[in-house]
Amino acid sequence: MPIKDAETRLEALKGLRDKLALCIDASCSGRDIAALAKQLMDCLAQIDELEGLLPEGEVTVVEQVITLHHGGAASARAGTPKGTGPAKGRPGAQGLP
């Protein structure tokens, strides 16, 4: 369904998902694919939330993979958003002065 004909937010998101997927398949630019993939990930998460498949705030597998790709391996495994855990190797990180 074309996005302009969508009657609900869910229909619009599904149309956007399809359009993003087509753009990703047609693109040769790594930079374009990365930006489109991020938008697609967000779109898929919103669809899941609207369909009741994913509780709000739960991290999807796609989000975990992207976090791992951007160097947040330890944070992704622990389920903690990158940058919110204790800083290893810094004074005070383990309660040391």
Q: pLDDT, tens digit, for every residue of 10-62?
A: 888 999 999 999 999 998 888 899 999 999 999 999 998 888 865 666 666 66
What is the rounded CA–CA span in Å between residue 71 and residue 77? Answer: 12
Half-sphere exposure of 39 (CA within 13 A, CB side): 17
Domain hosting 40: range is: 3-78
Q: Within a domain: residue 90?
A: no
Q: What is the mean pLDDT of residues 59-74?
A: 64
pLDDT at 82: 44
33 near 66, Cβ under 8 Å? Answer: no
Residue 81 has pLDDT above 50, yes or no: no
Q: How is residue 12 written in tokens?
A: 């619009």
Tally the domains of the chain. Answer: 1
In a domain, residue 83? The reply is: no
Distance from C-alpha of 93 to C-alpha of 57, rounded to nearest angstrom: 27
Which of the 8 DSSP states describes residue 53?
A: S
Whether 13 maps to a domain, the answer reads yes
